[in-house]
């Protein structure tokens, strides 16, 4: 799916939501992806819910506040900052910068009601793994997510393919890919799906796929992996 195909929803004043993927459109009916746009000074209050939430700030500046009975915990967030919030944690996203605040939200229904802890990481904190033609930055790995209360979210990665490179055939329990930069295609069952910035591709459980960079520029994308 491409961003140009989406319909804008306005859940609150100063906030626009674009839904790329709904849980009912997935095999396990658990995971989804949306893009939130907050105008200047807008605030989004997120109530307690059963969904595990993984945020990634594309542009803008703001803060993440965890609402507690006695005061608040607050994190300052800039572009290329990722935030993990476990299920059943009330929180608030606030645009405190100039211009719109654009943030991807991957969500997945948790298996339990138990709490956890928030994690916030900037680009400089992502672990880097190099292969020929491929760079993977680990945003959140399986172990730290599990320690933070994740029950279905397995990992979040920022991956880059150098010009004309290919990430060979592989599979996951369930994956959502969102393209940030470049052009190419994702091959699923011998069918090629073109991708460009703003494209989303969902691959169901153990569906073999590969990624091809067709341009003379890097191809960069975010991936979220989920278990049944």
118 with 138, same domain: the answer is: no
198 with 150, same domain: the answer is: yes
13 with 95, same domain: the answer is: yes
Q: What is the CATH number of the domain that holds 201?
A: 2.60.120.10
Is 67 a residue whose pLDDT tops 80?
no
Question: Where does a domain end: 104, 122, 140?
Answer: 122
Q: Give the model's confidence band at 71: pLDDT under 50 very low, under 70 low, under 90 confident, else very high.
A: low
Q: Give the model's confidence band at 121: pLDDT under 50 very low, under 70 low, under 90 confident, else very high.
A: very high
153 with 57, same domain: the answer is: no
| Tens of pLDDT, residues 2-32 | 887 889 999 889 999 999 999 999 999 999 9
Range of the domain at 65: 3-122
Q: In what order do the strands lie in the sheet with 72-77?
A: 43-46, 91-95, 62-67, 72-77
70 with 26, same domain: the answer is: yes
76 with 161, same domain: the answer is: no
pTM given for the model:
0.94
Q: Domains in the chain: how many in total?
A: 2
């Amino acid at each position: 799916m491409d961003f140009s195909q989406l319909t804008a929803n306005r859940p609150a004043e100063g906030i626009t939501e674009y839904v790329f993927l709904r849980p009912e459109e997935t095999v396990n009916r658990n995971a989804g992806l949306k893009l939130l746009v907050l105008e200047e000074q807008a605030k989004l209050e997120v109530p307690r819910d059963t969904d595990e939430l993984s945020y990634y700030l594309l542009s803008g500046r703001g803060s993440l506040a965890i609402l507690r009975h006695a005061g608040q915990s607050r994190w300052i967030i800039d572009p290329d900052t990722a935030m993990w919030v476990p299920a059943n944690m009330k929180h608030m996203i606030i645009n405190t910068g100039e211009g719109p605040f654009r943030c991807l939200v991957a969500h997945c229904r948790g298996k339990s009601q138990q709490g956890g802890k928030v994690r916030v990481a900037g680009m400089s904190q992502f672990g880097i793994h190099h292969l020929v033609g491929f760079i993977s930055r680990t945003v959140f790995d399986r172990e730290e997510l599990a320690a933070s209360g994740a029950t279905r979210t397995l990992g979040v990665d920022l991956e880059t393919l150098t010009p004309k490179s290919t990430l060979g055939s592989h599979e996951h329990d369930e994956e959502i890919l969102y393209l940030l930069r470049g052009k190419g295609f994702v091959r699923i069952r011998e069918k090629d799906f073109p991708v460009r910035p703003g494209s989303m591709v969902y691959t169901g459980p153990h569906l073999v796929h590969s990624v091809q960079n067709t341009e003379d520029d890097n191809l960069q994308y975010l991936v979220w992996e989920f278990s049944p």
